[in-house]
Amino acid sequence: MTRLYFALTLAAAAVTLAASAAIYPWLANQIPTHWNIHGQIDGYGSKQWAAFLLPCFMFGLVGLFAALPSLSPKQFELDSFRATYWFICLAVIVLMGYIHALTLWSALVGGFDITRALLAGVLVLFGLMGSLLTRVKRNFWVGVRTPWTIASDRVWTDTHRLAAQLFVAAAIAGLIVLMLPLPVPALIIAVLGFIFAAAIGPAIYSLIHYKQLQSRGEI
């Protein structure tokens, strides 16, 4: 599965680049590249940069993903969960391709709620990563990496069990909120609030859990 996920990750970047090249002639010279908190366009960029910068960055990121396992220090290798690692990498690259597609689609047709669509993509990735966290072993690149999870296998395992639940819950809650007829600023605040709470909660827990285990002499 590792080779398959790597191939799919590379293919996702290649498809994004090829699609950008295919629609390039139909893009205006200046296309939307940034939206404000109200979902309104407030920034434009030349199509030369906007069409190809992110796909090229995706290829660079794939190269970084490929290099990280060999850079891991001893006892923190990714070998025990390499397939999961590459599946997470694939999900990240697909999200970037999705964001790029939203940008180009807005440039071509406009008139759709890009903020809601963007937040939905981020939440799906967040929930997907949450569902995989319990498979991630102690390492320096993926997961809830705090001084206390890195220092203890037990704290790492317990923290990631909690993080998995919170990530999935935050994703589900955020997707439900996106279906409500709320103004865009409220949607952004709510979704970012869910994500922040799910991210910071396990980090705090790892400290408290480590200190409790330490006081009982269990680590």
For the segment 51-99, what is each residue's pLDDT rounded down to a tens digit?
999 999 999 999 999 999 999 998 888 988 999 999 999 999 999 999 9
CA distance 46 to 54: 13
Contact criterion met (CB below 8 Å) for 31 and 39 = no
Reported pTM: 0.91
pLDDT by residue (tens digit) across 171-196?
999 999 999 999 999 999 999 999 99
- For the chain, the structural domain boundaries read 1-112, 113-219
Within 10 angstroms of residue 4's Cβ, the number of other Cβ atoms is: 12
The per-residue pLDDT for 112 is 76
- Distant-in-sequence, close-in-space partners of 18: CB < 8 Å, separation ≥ 6: none
Q: State pLDDT tens for residues 10-56.
A: 999 999 999 999 999 999 999 888 888 887 888 888 988 889 999 99
* 3-state SS track over the chain: CHHHHHHHHHHHHHHHHHHHHHHHHHCCCEEEEEECCCCCEEEEEEHHHHHHHHHHHHHHHHHHHHHHHHHCCCCCCCHHHHHHHHHHHHHHHHHHHHHHHHHHHHHHCCCCCHHHHHHHHHHHHHHHHHHHHHHCCCCCCCCCCCHHHHHCHHHHHHHHHHHHHHHHHHHHHHHHHHCCCCCHHHHHHHHHHHHHHHHHHHHHHHHHHHHHHHHCCCC
CA–CA distance, 219 with 155 (Å, rounded to integer): 9
Q: Which amino acid is at 147?
A: P
Q: Is 109 a residue whose pLDDT tops 90? A: no
